[in-house]
Structure 1
Amino acid sequence: MGPWPARGSSFMLCAGAVGLIAMTAIIGYQVFGRYVLRASPSWAEEASLLLMIWYVFFAAAAGVREQFHIRITALENVVAPEIRRAMRFFIHACVALAGLSLAIWGSELVALTWGHEIPTLGLSRGFAYLPLPLSGVLIILFSIEHLMRGDPAGDFEDEASAD
């Protein structure tokens, strides 16, 4: 795989890590405000939820690219290499279709909610859902990249010979 996609998925993972750290800090501040200052900030919960939506969907797209998502390989391990390749092709095609559904229906959700405001943040509710279509497009692109490589998830013979 080329250098740009690798840097792109690394960027998404780093952005996800920063989002997780920021969300943790916001929730920590909210707890401090509630129990120490006796005045919890009204924006903290919505801000942390917004951050979580953003970093989870981009981490999911990076997971498709880097293939660190959960999968069960018991059946793949017992079939012939030709069948294994067909199975992997089918799996990546299904993941691309899932990305397509995120892109299409996520875009509709963004369009339907763009005019609504998150009161405590002053942001469009559509902005909160924007990661759905964006990550959907990335999932499609990353799945296509795996499909174009021919053996989309690596080769178990290579892994077995490395042991």
Structure 2
Amino acid sequence: MNTVTKFFDAVYWFFMTICKLFFIAMVGITAIVVFNRYVIKSSLVWGEPVVLMCMVYMSLCSAALAIRKDTHIRMQVIDYFAPKQFIRFVRGAAHVTIFTFGLFMIVYGWQFSMLAKRNLMTGVGITSMWLYLSCPFAGIAVVLMEIERFINFYYRVAHGQTLDMETLAVQSQQMAEQAKQELATQKGENS
């Protein structure tokens, strides 16, 4: 289980780094565009499409990353009225649906981006395919984050632990922290 946690830590780090880079690029390019428009009085035609592309990639990938820590906003009023078994079933069905939607994003996002390679993005001169590739890219992140949830769920069932989906995110985060601490300890011993 430790190897699996390390793999998904690396996947999470990769997509988080991509999000950070796109955010930095978005802020930097926006500052340059505003400076050129209002100080130099010369508009950069490529600025807005590039900022749009950065925003789309960042928002789709960060939505996928929220799956790992279970930080998506949701209504929990029904949790107070419905039986626990029903709530567990609904949450499990939600994760299966999210996984299926991730596969949908990969397959149909790829097909749509292949159609879009005939079009050019205004001001940038590159094909629209690069903008629409954000959908299958984020779909890969969604699928990987859900696979980790399924593995953690199976691990807990196999070891007779609680099936409460609410605690799965907390427990997987604790396992990730424990793996990081063990790794830090091993590095300290090797030094």
TM superposition shift of 1:53: 1.3
Cα-to-partner distance string for 1:53-92 (whole Å, 9 max, x where unaligned): 1111111111122222112222234444433321211110
The reply to whether residue 67 of structure 1 matches residue 70 of structure 2 is yes
Aligned structure 1 segments of 4 or more residues deviating by more than 6 angstroms: none
Contact 2:30-2:47 within 8 A present in 1 as well: yes
Map of 1:117 onto structure 2: 120
Contact 2:49-2:122 within 8 A present in 1 as well: no
Rg (Cα) greater in structure: 2
Larger mean CA deviation between 135-144 and 61-70 belongs to 135-144
The reply to whether residue 131 of structure 1 matches residue 134 of structure 2 is yes
d(CA) in 2 for partners of 1:78 and 1:148? 29
For residues 4-83 of structure 1, the aligned pairs below 5 Å read 4-83=7-86
Q: TM-score, normalised by structure 2?
A: 0.72
d(CA) in 2 for partners of 1:60 and 1:152? 23
Extract unaligned runs of 5+ from structure 1.
Answer: none
Q: Out of 79, 89, 95, which is 2:98 matched to?
A: 95
Aligned residues: 158
Q: TM-score, normalised by structure 1?
A: 0.83
The reply to whether residue 155 of structure 1 matches residue 171 of structure 2 is no
Structural RMSD (CA): 2.4
d(CA) in 2 for partners of 1:94 and 1:21? 32
Q: Among all aligned residue pairs of Structure 1 and Structure 2, give the percentage whose two residues are the same amino acid.
A: 23
Contact 1:110-1:126 within 8 A present in 2 as well: yes
Residue identity opposite 2:93 in structure 1: F
d(CA) in 2 for partners of 1:33 and 1:122? 20
